[in-house]
Structure 1
Amino acid sequence: MRRILIVGAGQSGLQLALSLQAEGYDVTVMSARTPDEIRRGWVMSTQAMFGQALRTERIYGLDLWQRETPQIEGLHVSLSAPPGQRALRIPCPIDEPAQSTDQRVKMAAWLELFEERGGTIHYQGVTTSDLDGLTALGRYDLTIVAAGKGDLVGVFDRDPARSPYSAPQRGLAVAYVHGMTPDPLWPVPHVSFNAVPGLGELFVMPTYTLSGPADILFWEAIPGGPLDLWQERRDPGEHLKLTLDLAREYTPWIYERCTNVELTDGRATLSGRYTPSVRRPVAQLPSGGLAFGMADVVVANDPITGQGSNTAAKCAGAYLEAILANGDRPFDQAWMEQMFEWFWESTGRHVTDWTNAMLQPLPEHVQAILGTAAGNETVARRFGNGFSDPSDFENWFMAPDKAQAYLASVPSA
């Protein structure tokens, strides 16, 4: 039986661990926190997972919150014009419902499920020195690092050819709340994407958290601008007040839904920033051992397109497929590099190109697409479905000539 070590207990690491376990592999997981510590901790993400990514979980029965989690039916895109006026509104239905489950709920339950099924978990943080020792022992056939937010990321070299940014492109501020009212213009559960050109974006998404259904308010602020007020962590109450104050000024149609909101719990806020980066997938450690990076260890994009958990789930699915196909052959450096390139070409490249483009001022052809989508559900639906399958954007959204050809081919609404 092949033995695999996975360092990190997030979306990608635990999904892969549970999937490999179901396929009969001997899997060990290293987690910095226990399930109870995760449940008592701060929120970790703003996950909104779309159809393709959710299917990778459902194959192995990991969608444990299907009945409790709000079924997201689309995206509602709004462009703001000063002073706080809505200049454009685009409801974008999607073909398959999306879902958002608080990772404190999800990762704690997945850790417990992995242990219940006989998996081995070591609850401890892992340093670079620890990782070096683990790979040197030869105990595992394959060591995978799935801890994308810790110090271990540093053992994977940045790929400058695939990483155009050398600094954070947004300041991030998240609050989980109860008490939001439905959108009167589109009352179905949806992700609301509110762009304030030149300043940033406010996202609103329904989620399922420790205390039941809730909503996430998520500001993305262009560094140095008037929305960029979270350089240091704020008290949760102050954080929420600032979130709402900015909504009142820049997106009043969202603020009107927030007159009775309150934080879901005492650790329902998150703030920070990071530099979007693509890293090389193989780390050669001082002792000569190899570690294989996955998900946001090697492809870390800004959350403006909501692809973090989606990419992590797809990466877990792709790595699972490659591990199973490799049989008894060695997991050597050539295999790791070939595997990552396949994942990059099938998924990572499309997400990265699209996300990096959305961080910049919208070019004329994208403005034309959104303007058409406002009155044409065919275009709006294709844009919404791209959040599930970003590879489609290459066919019509990313280049002016393709956008022009596509818009010319779509019947008028």
Structure 2
Amino acid sequence: MPPLSPRVLIVGAGQSGLFLGHRLLDLGFRVELITNQTSLEIRESPASVTQFAAPSTRALEEQAGLDLWREQAPRFERVRLSMIPPQGDVFRFSGRLGASPIGERIGEHAVSVDRRIKMADWLEYLEDKGAKVHIQTATLADLKYYIRMYDLVVVAVGADQLGDLFHVDRSRFSGAHERVMVQAILDGVAWEGDRQLDVYTSPHGEVFLTPFLTSQGEATSVTMLSTPGGSLDAGGMAGRSPGPLLAGMQTLLREHLPEVYERIAHLGVDDLVGGAKDITYSKFTPMVRKPVAFLDGVPMLGMADVVVTSDPITGQGWANSTFCAQVYADAIAERAHSGKPFDAEFMENAFDKFYQERGRHSAVLAGMVHNFWRGTLPPHFNDLIGAVVRYPEVADRWISGFNDPADYERWMFDPQAARDYIAEVAARAGS
């Protein structure tokens, strides 16, 4: 690193912005960050969509010294997937998240930590390590003032005017299907056996039940997803107070996913761990934007949700944010050593590396889930479903795609590759 290291401004204090800030500080960069909330305000804010750190994501957090809740967060190593057709038997199996290796990893389990805890702790830690934090809402006028003061500006918040600076890139596949969500963080959800990530998928929508660390201790996040206008679309309940919103969520589940309803039927508003702030309604529009925006002729680099908005159905939000930040940190360090400027070409290349290695695979996963109930999956998926029931190794590999979505392309999506793999597993099993 040159004696006077590059000065980097990060706009946004989410998973990607804070992870990048910590990595760059550790590499010797001068880092400043703009966020519109103090750590206390983050802790007291409403809940946002629940994310989880799968083994590969958690490994990056550990390597960066950011796994601050390793003793407190409930661990889970498995995902149980229940596919519930309109009629007929439920197809259910479970598998291990860490069954498919990705690079160097630490352990096999996943964790889900309330974003309010995680981001507040990371923000305070970033400041303790020497970053300068500006508490303000960053406007275009602010950025026009700041942009020539730094060697690089990274935008890690995609809302309002800032997100609009980055144009939609229709040349890249996003798996774009709008989602609506109602989510409740509850104490007392019914479980059978060990807690794991439970995923229910049906033509009506999806529900995730996630073991979850809150500021009050362990709880369960119940996340209900639907397409707009779908059977589990709670849009008519948006804006209601917590009691009616929870009751409406239960009503929809009782009608369309009674198995899930039974697990939360006994719970009421008093079981919301953080009260009114712990039940929320949101809308998502997955998309890919171009990674470079120009302000007064100066390029800025977009990151994570700004440029790849993940469909929450894939569970890839924190993975995409973390891997994008890691790829950017490596690219920034390499560029700094070269002495070349952080120009638009550098930014395009850094994003393309992330998109090719991670982002596009998450988009394909979203498309696969969406197509499952539309009957548009290829015929060889019948072979896959039969193999999942018969061979635990195949079930593990299917589930481990949450950890490494790129693996689906290596075996699942190609009919011949899938059949060859199943034949190999069968031969090893002696059947």
Q: TM-score, normalised by structure 1?
A: 0.93
Query: Which residue number in structure 2 is paired with residue 123 of structure 1?
Result: 135
1:309-324 equivalent positions in 2, closer than 5 A: 309-324=318-333
Equivalent position of 2:158 in the other structure: 148
Instruction: Please list every run of 5 or more consecutive structure 2 residues that lacks an aligned counterpart in the other structure.
Output: 99-107
Alignment of 1:102-113 (within 5 A): 102-113=114-125
Distance, in Å, in 2 between the alignment partners of 1:304 and 1:263 is 23
Which of 213, 234, 251 is the aligned partner of 1:229? 234
Is the partner of 2:84 in helix, strand or coil?
strand
1:165–1:275 contact (8 Å) kept in structure 2: no
Instruction: Map Cα deviations across residues 228-286 of structure 1 (whole Å, 9 max, x no partner).
Output: 1225333222222222222333333333332443211120122222221111100011x
Counterparts of residues 190-229 of structure 1 (less than 5 Å): 190-197=196-203, 199-229=204-234
**For structure 1, which segment, 115-124 or 156-165, has the greater mean C-alpha deviation from structure 2 after superposition?**
156-165
Q: CA deviation at 1:392?
A: 0.7
- In the alignment, the residues of structure 1 paired with residue 139 and residue 411 of structure 2 have an alpha-carbon distance, to the nearest angstrom, of 44
Determine whether 1:247 maps to 2:253: yes
Question: 1:267 is paired with a residue of what secondary structure?
Answer: helix
Structure 2 counterpart of 1:387: 402
Q: Which moved more, 1:39-48 or 1:393-402?
A: 393-402
1:344, CA displacement in angstroms? 1.2
Residues 263 and 150 from structure 1, CA distance in 2 versus in 1: closer, same or farther, beyond 3 angstroms?
Answer: farther
1:78·1:86 contact (CA, 8 Å) conserved in 2?
no
Question: 1:171 is matched with which residue?
Answer: 180
Using the TM superposition, give the Cα deviation of residue 367 of structure 1 relative to its aligned residue in structure 2, in angstroms.
Answer: 4.5
- Residues 82 and 354 of structure 1, relative CA distance in 2, 3 Å threshold: closer
SS of alignment partner, residue 390 of structure 2: coil
For residues 319-374 of structure 1, the C-alpha deviation after alignment (integer angstroms, 9 at most, x for no partner) is 11111111232111111111111111111111112222222235143344234213
Contact 2:316 2:402 in 1 (8 A): yes
Q: 1:330 aligns with which of 333, 341, 344?
A: 341
In structure 2, the residue corresponding to 1:360 is in which secondary structure? Answer: helix
Question: Distance between the aligned counterparts of 2:174 and 2:286, measured in 1?
Answer: 8
> Residues of 2 paired with 1:304 and 1:101: CA distance?
18
- Indicate yes or no: 2:308 matched with 1:304: no
Distance 1:402 1:380 in 2: 16
1:11 shift after superposition: 0.2
Out of 357, 362, 365, which is 1:346 matched to? 357
Distance 2:129 2:174 in 1: 43
Q: Which residue of structure 1 lines up, in the alignment, with residue 103 of structure 2?
A: none
The 10-residue stretch of structure 1 (65-74 or 143-152) with the greater mean CA deviation from structure 2? 143-152
Distance 2:161 2:381 in 1: 38
Residues 272-311 of structure 1 aligned to structure 2 (within 5 Å): 272-285=282-295, 287-311=296-320
Is the CA contact (8 Å cut-off) linking 2:175 and 2:364 kept in structure 1? no
> Per-residue deviation at 1:58?
0.9
Is 2:62 aligned against 1:58?
Answer: yes
SS at match of 1:410: helix
Aligned to 2:280: 270
**2:134 corresponds to 1:134:** no
Q: How far apart in 1 are the matches of 2:195 and 2:175? A: 34
Q: Describe the SS at the equivalent of 2:413.
A: coil
Equivalent position to 2:392, from 377, 383, 395: 377
Secondary structure (helix, strand or coil) at the match of 1:69 reads: coil
Task: Tell me the equivalent position of 1:238.
Answer: 244
2:105 equivalent in structure 1: none
Separation in 2, partners of 1:170, 1:239: 18
Distance, in Å, in 1 between the alignment partners of 2:315 and 2:407 is 16
Structure 1, unaligned stretches of length 5 or more? none
In 2, are the aligned partners of 1:159 and 1:279 still within 8 Å (CA)? yes
Instruction: Please give the per-residue CA displacement for 1:34-83, whole angstroms capped at 9, x wherever unaligned.
Output: 11111111011210110111111111210001111110111111111347
Moved over 4 A (4+): 163-166
Counterpart pick for 1:8 among 5, 12, 17: 12
Report deviation, 1:165. 6.6
CA contact (8 A) 1:12 1:146 kept: yes
Closer, same or farther in 2 for the Cα pair 1:223/1:295, shift >3 Å?
same
Q: Which range moves more in the overlay, 7-16 or 51-60? A: 51-60
Q: Does 1:407 align with 2:422?
A: yes
What SS class does the counterpart of residue 161 from structure 1 fall into? Answer: coil
Alignment pair present for 1:70 and 2:74: yes
Which residue of the partner structure matches residue 38 of structure 1? 42
Report the 3-state secondary structure (helix = DSSP H, G, I; strand = E; otherwise coil) of the residue aligned with 1:81.
Answer: coil
Residue identity over aligned pairs, in percent, reads 35
**Aligned residue type for 2:364:** D
8 A Cα contact 1:90 1:370, kept in partner? no
Q: Which residue of 2 aligns with 1:100?
A: 112
* Cα shift readout 1:105-124 (whole Å, capped 9, x = no counterpart): 01011111111122111111
